[in-house]
């Protein structure tokens, strides 16, 4: 950074605290990220465009923070899907209780119903499916994720999700 850019960062340092307070984020957790956003803004700032630095820096910092928050939410959504008959072991070979691995934002009841139902009712239900839906059904029942199933079948993840939902609803009606 040039001396001019360093001076912009120093003069607008309080913008970090103001933004974190406004976004209701913990200063200890997000200060460094906001400071990086402020430095990036100082490096790419062009005074000739007629904007005040703080006006330019605010969205730069905010966008960086929002990107990180989206990434954190995505990591929370990505969890381990466990089935009732699956044993999980740590690196030392010790059995891990399943409740320790369950993601709190997943509907594990639906996952368990779907897995059990895929196995129990597959013969009757699969016979009524189109060849394409049969392929999706078999991949899902084999434990493939919706994303992996979508990639293998050439469908969108949304289409796979709809097929899965229809199967789960059908099975719930039968049960």
Q: 108 or 102, which is more confident?
A: 108
- Which segment of 2-11, 72-81, 141-150 scores lowest on mean pLDDT? 72-81
- Most confidently modeled of 46-60, 90-104, 142-156? 46-60
Say if residue 151's pLDDT is above 80: yes
Q: For residue 137, which of 105, 98, 164, 156 has the smallest C-alpha distance?
A: 164
Stretch 6-29: mean pLDDT, rounded? 91
Residue 171: CB atoms within 10 A of its CB come to 18
Stretch 64-93: mean pLDDT, rounded? 67
Q: What percent of the chain has pLDDT over 70?
A: 66
Q: What CA–CA distance (Å, rounded) separates 152 from 135?
A: 9
For residue 70, what pLDDT is reported? 85
0.75 exceeded by the pTM?
no
For residue 133, what pLDDT is reported? 81
């Amino acid at each position: 950074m040039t001396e001019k850019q360093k001076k912009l960062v120093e003069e607008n340092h309080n913008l970090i605290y103001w933004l974190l307070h406004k976004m209701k984020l913990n200063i200890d957790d997000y200060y460094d990220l906001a400071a990086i956003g402020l430095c990036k803004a100082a490096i790419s700032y062009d005074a000739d465009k007629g904007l005040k630095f703080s006006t330019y820096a605010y969205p730069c910092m905010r966008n960086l923070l929002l990107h990180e928050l989206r990434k954190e939410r995505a990591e929370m959504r990505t969890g381990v899907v466990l089935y009732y008959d699956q044993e999980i072991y740590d690196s030392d070979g010790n059995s891990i209780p399943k409740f320790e691995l369950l993601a709190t934002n997943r509907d594990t009841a639906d996952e368990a119903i779907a897995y059990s139902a895929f196995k129990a009712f597959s013969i009757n239900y699969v016979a009524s499916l189109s060849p394409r839906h049969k392929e999706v059904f078999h991949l899902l029942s084999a434990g493939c994720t919706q994303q992996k199933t979508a990639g293998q079948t050439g469908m969108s993840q949304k289409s796979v999700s709809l097929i899965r939902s229809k199967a789960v609803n059908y099975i719930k009606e039968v049960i």
